[in-house]
Amino acid sequence: MATTDTLRPMGHSEPKDERLARIQKSLRRRRSAETRFRIYGMSAVAIACGFVLFLFASIMHDGLPAFWQPALQVKVTFSPDVVKVAPKPEKAPGQSPAEFQRANLDWQREVTMVNWNRVIQDAVQAAAPDVELAPRDVQAVVSPNQRFKLRDMFVENPGLLGQTVDVSLLASANVDVWLKNNIDHTLGDDRQQLSAAARQLVDRLYENGTIKMVFSTVLFTNADSRGASAEAGLLGAFIGSLYMMIIVIVLAVPIGVASAIYLEEYAPRNKLTDLIEVNINNLAAVPSIVFGLLGAAVFINYFRLPLSAPLAGGLVLTLMTLPTIIIATRNSLKAVSPSIRQAALGLGASKTQMVFHHVLPITYPGIMTATIIGVAQALGETAPLLLIGMNAFVATVPTTPLDQATALPVQIFLWEGNENRNFFEPRTAAAIIILLVVMLLLNAVAIYLRSRFERRQ
């Protein structure tokens, strides 16, 4: 005779109300288990969503202030006492172009030798007449490369000599840190980045409105900079990433779509195609850093492609993105209804005509999505690029895919490792925001294109 609850014969050994009570108790238990399970699920969703919000909030909180940086709005006087240069050479009649060029270069060199620091100091002095300025403090406050800005202004327009103009000079990174309270103001002098006098000067200039927070355009117009951190920008990294994305799109999309078409439409079911299939699925799951090792050994060491070049990076990313595009394209080919194929074949189209004229056009939205997913993935990839030297410090904007360059995510990694952490931590977060915005735009374009395509059909 069974003794478990469920198999107990009904009505004999147990009065009715007792049985009811037992069932109700068990129901209560089961219902509370149900509620508990539901709460577990809800809290898992809440954790995941909460983390997304927390992540974005913390990046925004850190990064948004970095889009504004302090600049000194000063009146710069190109006083003839300091800017002691001969007038800009005019092209004399009978002078050969080469000679004129040389004279011009000599003049520019002379302009560069002008004591621009002195010009800046005078301008700052004019803004804070009652402070006794030391040259060292002024140089600590104004970003070092700003003197070239004055030089370029003068080379452009030598008529400025003796005139006074309004100029916005970027303040140095340390001023940015000080004004944004990213360093503890109560720390002792020996642990501050600015000297006591320079700090006083900054506070004074900030109070009288000389130093203003301006939108940081250098972030978008400059390449990385080591000497003048305040002027470090993302343009170089952005162009590097752009070249790599172009290479990925030009190579990975046609090759990926072609192999998806072959595997899905042509390939006979045999050992070889099975192998290719397993292989592609496995490649999609190979760690990205292994592709970096492949790139270092094959592209750099064997084919001798230049180190740190977007060409090598683009090729590595192409190989990495290929499986993603193949798998996604195959899925959208699979989703095409067989009736379309049969109709095309029935009307006498050859297999190739059927595929390229009838099946493939239907999958364009799917291929587009696959491309965007692949490109976005490649855009955010960092590890393989480190192995082919794309973490080099590059202070110029690359002009060809063979020039040294870096990439947006690598630039984030590099800035995160910068010694001036008080300044570069917000900048890193700003760079992250820019990277995320680029990815968001990519996805928006994908959604827009897909909806247009779908409407047309």
Partner 1 sequence: MNSIVIILLLLALLSVGYQVGLSRGRTVAATAQRTMHSRPNYHGLMVALWCIVPAAVVLLLWAVFSNDLTTNYILSFIPSDVAGDPNLLREAMRRIEQIAAGFGVIGETQAWEVAAGEGLRQFRSVSFWSVVVLAAVLGIAGLLLMSRRIAPRLRARNEFEVAIRVLLIFCSLIAIMTTVGIVASLFSEAMRFFAFVSPIDFFFGTVWNPGFTTSGGAGTGEYGLLPLLWGTIMISAIAMLVAIPVGLLSAIYLAEYASPRVRTVAKPMIEILAGIPSVIYGVFALVTLGPLLSDIGALVGIQIRATSALTAGIAMGLMIVPFVSSLSDDIITQVPRAMRDGSLGIGATKSETIRKVVLPAALPGIVGAFMLAISKAFGETMIVVLAAGNAPILRFNPFDAASTVTVSIVNQLTGDTNFASPQSLVAFALGLTLFGMTLVLNVIALYVVRKYREQYE
Interface with partner 1 in residues 364-403 (CB under 8 A): 376, 379-383, 386-387, 389, 391-392
418 counts as binding partner 1 under rule CB under 8 A: no
Question: Of 350, 396, 399, 451, which one interacts with partner 1 (CB under 8 A)?
Answer: 350
Describe the strand order of the beta sheet including 211-215 as a list of residue ranges. Answer: 164-170, 68-77, 211-215
404 counts as binding partner 1 under rule CB under 8 A: no
Question: Of 8, 14, 59, 212, which one interacts with partner 1 (CB under 8 A)?
Answer: 59
Question: Of 218, 319, 328, 333, which one interacts with partner 1 (CB under 8 A)?
Answer: 319
Interface mask toward partner 1 for 237-256; x: CB under 8 A: -----------------xxx
| Minimum gap (Å) between residue 383 Cβ and partner 1 | 4
Question: Of 416, 420, 450, 453, which one interacts with partner 1 (CB under 8 A)?
Answer: 416
- How many residues sit close enough to partner 1 to count as binding (CB under 8 A)? 87
Given a contact cutoff of 8 angstroms between Cβ atoms, the answer to whether 200 and 53 are in contact is: no
How many other CB atoms sit within 10 Å of the CB of residue 55? Answer: 10
| Minimum gap (Å) between residue 337 Cβ and partner 1 | 18
DSSP codes, 353-418: HIIIIIIHHHTHHHHHHHHHHHHHHHHH--HHHHHTTTTS---S--SSTTS----HHHHHHHHHT-
Task: Report the C-alpha gap between 454 and 439 in whole angstroms.
Answer: 23
Q: Which is nearer to partner 1, 245 or 319 (CB)?
A: 319
Q: Cα 231 vs. chain centroid, distance in angstroms?
A: 17
217 counts as binding partner 1 under rule CB under 8 A: no
- CB burial of 230-246 (b: ≥16 within 10 Å; e: otherwise) equals bbbbbbbbbbbbbbbbe
Task: Report the C-alpha gap between 32 and 25 in whole angstroms.
Answer: 11
Interface with partner 1 in residues 142-181 (CB under 8 A): none
Stretch that binds partner 1, among 8-16, 57-65, 92-100, 136-144 (CB under 8 A): 57-65
Q: Which is nearer to partner 1, 187 or 392 (CB)?
A: 392
33 counts as binding partner 1 under rule CB under 8 A: yes
Q: Which is nearer to partner 1, 169 or 247 (CB)?
A: 247
439 counts as binding partner 1 under rule CB under 8 A: yes
| Minimum gap (Å) between residue 319 Cβ and partner 1 | 5
Nearest to 62 by CA among 439, 419, 410, 436: 436
| Minimum gap (Å) between residue 288 Cβ and partner 1 | 7
Nearest to 83 by CA among 53, 112, 50: 112
280 counts as binding partner 1 under rule CB under 8 A: yes
How many other CB atoms sit within 10 Å of the CB of residue 21? Answer: 11
Backbone angles phi, psi at 114, to 5 degrees: -60, 145
